Amino acid sequence: MVKNTKFMAVLAAFMMVAVAGIVVVQSSDESDAAAGEAGYMNVYINSGNGWSVETVLAANGCEAVKATTAYDIHRGDAIDDAYTYEYQYQDNWYTDISYTYGNITQLNNISNSSTSIWNVLVYIPVWDDDEGMYIDQWTVASSALGYYKPFADYADEMINYGTANVAVWYGDPANVTSMITSLNGYATSTHAPRALTQVSTVQGSAFEHIFYLKNKTSYTMAINGTNNVTTYNPATGVYTTDVTLTNSMITSGVYVVGYGSDAGLALRNALNVPGQTTDVIFGTTTNPVPGYQAYGWLDKIFGLGTVQVSGQDTPTVYTDDHYNFWSTYTAYDEANSYYAWAGFVVGAYSALTNAPLVDGTIALIYEYS
């Protein structure tokens, strides 16, 4: 057990190393939607003189605020829009996902001070004891703006972070109750909160992800009735629907197609939607920040996860330890021996071109190391 824990920690550190092949794309502030972008959000803003609202194209709350007319970098407005950051540990440099992605320092030419700051409210389902059910209402954000996203599939998975409505207001945080009351009075009729963006499952949509799955070990996978998967042939560009996956197909390598607002959700769609099976399992978490054992951490596919295959008899020695596990690649070319390990967990990536970390084609290889 101790050795497995160490393996996971080492693997997590290895995954955070910045590698070639990862493309980081920040959302632009273009007024017209470009191919591959998706998601609309309402941004309510109160600088101290009442509420206003803008509807913007954005994949998350950070990019939504940046897309408003209230944000102007030329006058010094500042939002932490770095999705990743580098840090040094024992003479090595690593890259990780930032917990502060979307925090506001200055907006509308107004900076945080010792008494007043930019506060964030989000419109999400909150449990109501009197009603005995969840009711959509404004509440204080519990994470940075960048982890609130306007997509229905994300809301299904992360109920506290799926929203198409964020509100930022400047003032003393102690006044939050009165600010929520005033926002409720404003956010009605034409200013009402907007609905979540539904994921399009039409072939070629902006939400489409393609995964290359391959088993390079001798282990047999438990494929639980996955009989209407869509596969893809990159040589011909042909999609084939209602395919029944088999172990021989995965041993040879197969491309499957899924739809989602991020790669983790798309992989679930590719393999779990048929018959609501559990052919792919991600770690359970309430942490919206992608990372080690947090959001988007892949646990098992077809019943197989990390398995120690040697070294169990030497619990204090790690040099003889070997494992089978799912490796994630952003580039995988066996013919030319070119491979690029993904720097982050599956759920950190998205095919959407206005997402902070863009990659819609990912290889998942079950292999020995």
228 pLDDT above the threshold of 90: no
Residue type, 361: T
216 pLDDT above the threshold of 60: yes
Identify the three-state secondary structure at position 99: coil
pLDDT at 4: 39
- DSSP-derived letter for residue 348 is G
Q: Alpha-carbon distance 68 to 170, whole Å? A: 16
Task: State how far Cα 285 lies from the chain centre.
Answer: 13
CB 258 within 8 A of CB 211: yes
- What is the band of 31 on the pLDDT scale with cuts at 50, 70, 90? very low
pLDDT in tens, 109-149: 999 999 999 999 999 999 999 989 999 999 999 999 999 99
CB 176 within 8 A of CB 135: no
CB 39 within 8 A of CB 27: no
Instruction: Find tokens 């963006």 and name the residue.
Output: 197
Token pair for residue 34? 């470009």
Identify the three-state secondary structure at position 203: coil
Percent of residues, the chain, with pLDDT higher than 70: 87
User: Who has greater pLDDT, 122 or 2?
Assistant: 122
Q: Alpha-carbon distance 133 to 100, whole Å? A: 31
**Structure-derived torsion over alpha carbons of residues 264, 266, 271, 277, reported in degrees to the nearest 10:** 70
pLDDT at 317: 64
CB atoms < 10 A from the CB of 133, how many? Answer: 9
pLDDT in tens, 188-198: 988 999 999 99
